[in-house]
Structure 1
């Protein structure tokens, strides 16, 4: 029996509202802000949530990097059309980090706050 249940994945960032807006455009859902703007929830279709917390002095992870201060985690986002999804996330402010070989079914990006995520063909 599990001791706990995952509540929400939280991304630290300098601007929770802006990063929640980015992921709302990518994933859909409803943005819910606290009064101070230090915490923003993104309620996703299907009942999942993603949260964003203000972290003054936030330093974005670097990918790829073998040292201990590099990538700490990343999100895998499945998409039906990899090229169309890439065009969309780049317009929203993502940065392409690794496109790989043309036949590869996933690509690595950084969101506007520098967190790595992958678009994966489903």
Structure 2
């Protein structure tokens, strides 16, 4: 029997509401702002996401041989090209998208967290 279950994935960021809105537009859900330093994204399928204000936040650098991205999200999509256009319009930044034959492409969200769009 497991010791615990995964309750949420929490991303530190400078503006939790703005980042929650980005992910709500990307994966669905409702932004629940408690008026403080914590914002939940509720109602989206899969593991819940939450966002926490982090003073002095420094985004991960990807790729870097001397550093780590720490964590990233894999988001499954039907059409990589269509999804790419949409995430770029939302404010994502391409990190590794040159190899168009691969089944995934890497982007950074507006706060700099890496995520992958993966073909299903």
TM-score normalised to the size of structure 1?
Answer: 0.93
Is the 1:78–1:120 contact (alpha carbons within 8 Å) kept by the matching residues of 2? yes
Match in the other structure for 1:96: 94
| DSSP 3-state at the match of 1:65 | coil
CA RMSD, aligned part only?
Answer: 1.2
Is the 2:6–2:47 contact (alpha carbons within 8 Å) kept by the matching residues of 1? no
Match in the other structure for 2:80: 82
Unaligned segments of structure 2, at least 5 residues? none
Cα shift at 1:107: 0.2
TM-score normalised to the size of structure 2?
Answer: 0.95
Please identify, of 98-107 and 54-63, the stretch whose mean Cα deviation from structure 2 is larger: 98-107
| DSSP 3-state at the match of 2:24 | helix
Looking at structure 1, the residues matched to 46 and 101 of structure 2 have their Cα atoms a distance apart, in angstroms, of: 33
Looking at structure 1, the residues matched to 20 and 53 of structure 2 have their Cα atoms a distance apart, in angstroms, of: 11
Residue 59 of structure 2 is aligned to residue 64 of structure 1:
no
Aligned length: 120
Looking at structure 2, the residues matched to 48 and 115 of structure 1 have their Cα atoms a distance apart, in angstroms, of: 17
Looking at structure 1, the residues matched to 97 and 2 of structure 2 have their Cα atoms a distance apart, in angstroms, of: 38
Match in the other structure for 2:109: 111
Is the 2:33–2:40 contact (alpha carbons within 8 Å) kept by the matching residues of 1? yes
Cα shift at 1:47: 5.9
